[in-house]
Structure 1
Amino acid sequence: METPEMRLFAIADPHGNYSRIEELLDIAGDIDVVLIAGDITNFGPDEKALELFSLFDQPILAVPGNCDHDSIIKVIEDSRAINLHNRSFVMDDVLFLGLGGSNPTPFCTPFEIQECEYEENISMLLGRSTGNEKRIVTLTHAPPFGVLDEVGGMHVGCRALNMFLDRADLMVCGHIHEARGIKKYGKTTIVNPGMAALGFAAVIGLDTENKEHNINVKLIEAIR
């Protein structure tokens, strides 16, 4: 009997450069859902996102990054993609929760959010998952503090996002270009697929029925 698996194609940080997406899709093979973990553009224009969305036939769930303007949210909502920023969305037996932007950086980028606001929003999202029997996937731009968040020997992730750890089955994030990888924290698998502008992505197999089954993650790379 085949395992009921949802195959996710995860990218982060394309920064307006979508030149390697089609090659990554060829490498990925059959996929069911596209996850876009922010920095869709490189400080705009917002409409650039539509070029990226046009490359996919599958359902798209997206959040903005700190290098996007918050006005991109309306562009996402008016497109065929699903805006997951500060939202929840159910597909099959999976509950998706999303938050875009990032915690404050030294660079004063367009879409930065204070930790206290993140905490309020995460509490609201987790409240929606109370009593949930579905698998939980979170899509954020920033990583949780201490996990795939190291720059120059310092941890720069969002502390509030640690509220998802050991509660979500899967966390997909980006933001820290140097921190591509896969980590496990309790029951949570955290994935930074790498910078899509450089030809990096991840393919994730998620059993939609059995929470005890492993989540299979493969980091892929387009080489030209």
Structure 2
Amino acid sequence: MRILALADVHGDHSHIESLLEMAGNIDLVVISGDLTQFGPASEAETVLSMFDVPVLAVAGNCDPKDVNDVIDSSDAVNLHKSVEKIEGVTFIGMGGSSPTPFCTPFELEEDEIEAALEPLFAEAEGTVVLVSHAPPKGLLDDVGGNNVGSTAVAKFIDRARLVICAHIHEARGFARSGDTFLVNPGMAAQGYGALIELEPDNVSVVFLEA
């Protein structure tokens, strides 16, 4: 499965067409949050309309909560607190983020994140991909020497084959924890994305810059 991973659009979708061209033939687009810069929700509608392949998306902490309604009413799948199975792969989603110092529009307490993810993972079968706006604490979450990721998300990563996250702009990159691969594709607003090849026995990543 060839996945174009995008994140942190923040209302600037000017690079997305170029990223699509660079990615070539893809099966799926995954957007791991912050489609808008604190709204309006119509910006998310514009982004979601740019693709002619299936799209899975979660809103980010900088998205007003009505962005969830926009995703629901679009052709994309809203993965927030939900599961979608595609070609034997189980995608699990978590939008928003754990609490930040900035009181952004879409934040969740750690216990709420954990309570939402546990039943989703309990029912998951086959290859599991977690799409979370917030990274797990300790991986792809460094800001000025501090790990600011979600402790709740961190509890589940060993139950996934792949984690696609975002949120921490400085932490664009790739990490591995045991058998789990983690990818932060970087800010689409700055022309960044990632092409992920998900195979039964391997995950490979090519970072794109438009």
TM-score, normalised via structure 2 length: 0.98
Return the alpha-carbon distance in structure 2 between the equivalents of residues 166 and 185 of structure 1. 7
Task: Identify the residue that residue 207 of structure 2 maps to in structure 1.
Answer: 219
Q: Secondary structure at the match of 1:120?
A: helix
Aligned to 1:140: 132
1:183 Cα offset (Å): 0.3
Take 1:54 and 1:162, find their aligned partners in 2: how far apart are those partners?
A: 32
- CA RMSD across the alignment: 0.7
Q: Residue 162 in 1 paired to residue 154 in 2?
A: yes
Does residue 63 (structure 1) correspond to residue 55 (structure 2)? The answer is no
Q: How many Å separate the matches in 2 of 1:160 and 1:59? A: 28
Shift in Å, 1:69: 1.0
SS of structure 2 residue aligned to 1:24: helix
Structure 1: which 4+ aligned runs deviate by more than 3 Å? Answer: none
**Structure 1, unaligned stretches of length 5 or more?**
1-5
- 1:110-129 → structure 2 map (5 Å cutoff): 110-129=105-124
Q: Deviations over 1:69-125 (max 9, x none)?
A: 111111110111100000000011100000000000000000000001011011121
SS in 1 for 2:158: coil
Counterpart Cα distance in 1 of 2:123 and 2:188: 31
Question: In structure 2, what is the Cα distance between the partners aligned to 1:79 and 1:214?
Answer: 32
Which letter does structure 2 place at the counterpart of 1:215? V
Unaligned runs of 5+ in 2: none
- Return the offset for 1:164: 2.0
1:43 is matched with: 38
Deviation of 1:50 after TM superposition, in Å, equals: 1.2
Q: For 1:214 and 1:82, locate their aligned partners in 2 and report how far apart those are by CA, in whole Å.
A: 25
Question: Which residue matches 1:96?
Answer: 91
Deviations along 1:127-174, one digit per CA (max 9) or x if unpaired, are: 121xx2x21011010000000000011000000001222210000000
- 2: distance between equivalents of 1:217 and 1:103? 26
Partner residue of 1:3?
none
Question: Which amino acid in 1 is paired with 2:207?
Answer: L
Q: Which amino acid aligns with 1:94?
A: V
Structure with higher Rg: it is 1
The amino acid of 1:164's aligned partner reads F
Q: How does 1:15-30 map to 2 (within 5 A)?
A: 15-30=10-25
Measure the CA separation in 2 of the matches of 1:204 and 1:103. Answer: 26
- Deviation, 1:200, is 0.2
Which residue in 2 is equivalent to 1:80? 75
Deviations 1:190-219 (A, max 9, x none): 000000000000000011xx3xx2101111
